[in-house]
Amino acid sequence: MNGRILVLLVVFTAFSCKGHKQTKSEQSDVVVNKADTVPLSRITPLEPGGIHLTEKAFGPVIDLKGISHPVKEVFRVVESQMLAEDSLLLVKTRYNDHLFMAYSLPGFRFIKSFGRLGQGPDEFQFPRMFKSRNSKRLAYVFETTRNKLYSLDRDFVTKELKLAMPASFHQMYSDKQMQCIDDSTFAYVESVKGGKGIFKLSLRGDSATAKKLYNLTFSEKLKNWAAYIGDFGLNPDKKRMVFAYKQFNRLVFVDCDSMKTRTLIFDDSKDHKFNTKDVMSPANITYFWGISPQRKYVYLLYSGRTPIDVMKANNHGNEFIYVEQFDWNGNPVHKYKLDHWGYFCVSEDENTIYLSSTVDENPFYSYDIPNEK
């Protein structure tokens, strides 16, 4: 791992929510196409408030050993992202002159690369992908440098959605972390003055209207958007969204009907003092820096170490990272320790963790998630 990874560990990476009162017409625009979903049991109400926890809430840490999946393609895992969609693994990482790769699962057969790198029309520089809820699409791709949204069809062709996206807080790029509710409704987290906020995006024809739903800034003493970078996920079926802070060992779960929130604050036994003067410092502990929201649970990649400590350990062959599992009401379920370091996603059936290592020559690993007893 080189110095660039230090920056990646601390720099920002990326349904319907309403106010307390809703009219029937307001509620109708967030109905999900039932043909594209699997019926789920009704979720119990979210218990609101600030909850202080320790790591003991997960029970014993479960050690998992990865299975290596060598591939012929040679590439370096940098600024990566992974989505497991049906029998496909979509990987965002540079490969020759493309920024995306597709593999079949479970055999890791290379299908193709796509998403050409460049500054021309329909080319990408710093894209982010997220799942679609339309069976005709594989995913969406958001290009941060141009504030543009694309759909990705099942032939791996990207098509720009011709609409005027809301302007970003940053002038040179947009740090929106988007999630899909349905074909015309999205939710996203973006920097705002003094912090971060959650927004709902409604598409009507070629226009896009954003509404702020929730302020993720929690400290009057810390009014810096960089301090509140993190990972955003949602579950439209269970009407929950979650944000995990990268620089703080805390998460917030939101009920999208009542807008009640449940904040989990893990008390840090190391008594680590956050450097508020230099929030991007590699001397600060990185907590959450990856998310995989699924139907039953939400899974979060967890470091719990400083980027400096991670680099030292990896250089000595001591790679590891954690995955923390929560239900959608903010209850800790399990904590897994993976024997490699990198980026991850969880399969749709929630039986497998996939990881792309930033260190290994053969980057792909899979981990079987133990069956619940």
- Output the tens digit of pLDDT for each of the chain's 373 residues: 444 444 344 333 333 444 433 333 332 233 333 333 444 446 899 999 999 999 999 999 999 999 999 999 999 898 899 999 889 999 999 999 999 999 999 999 999 999 999 999 889 999 999 999 988 899 999 999 999 999 999 999 999 998 888 888 776 788 999 999 998 999 999 999 889 999 999 998 888 899 999 999 998 888 888 889 999 999 999 999 999 999 999 999 999 888 999 999 998 645 456 666 667 788 889 999 999 999 999 999 999 999 999 999 999 999 999 999 999 999 999 999 999 999 999 999 999 999 999 999 999 999 999 987 5
The answer to whether residue 32 is domain-embedded is: no
The answer to whether residue 41 is domain-embedded is: no
Tokens of 273: 């003092």
Tracing tokens 């110095």 back to the chain, one arrives at 3
Domain count, the chain: 1
The answer to whether residue 172 is domain-embedded is: yes
Amino acid 99 reads L
Q: Which residue range is the domain that position 77 belongs to? A: 3-26+52-368
The answer to whether residue 220 is domain-embedded is: yes
Residues 6+ apart with CB under 8 A from 231: 13, 177, 243, 244, 246, 288, 289, 290, 291, 300
The answer to whether residue 35 is domain-embedded is: no
Neighbours of 140 (CB within 10 A): 23
The answer to whether residue 44 is domain-embedded is: no
Residue 200: which CATH number? 2.120.10.30
Residues 6+ apart with CB under 8 A from 343: 77, 80, 81, 82, 290, 301, 355, 356, 358
Q: What are the distances in angstroms from CA 152 to CA 112, 124, 233, 330? A: 14, 13, 19, 31
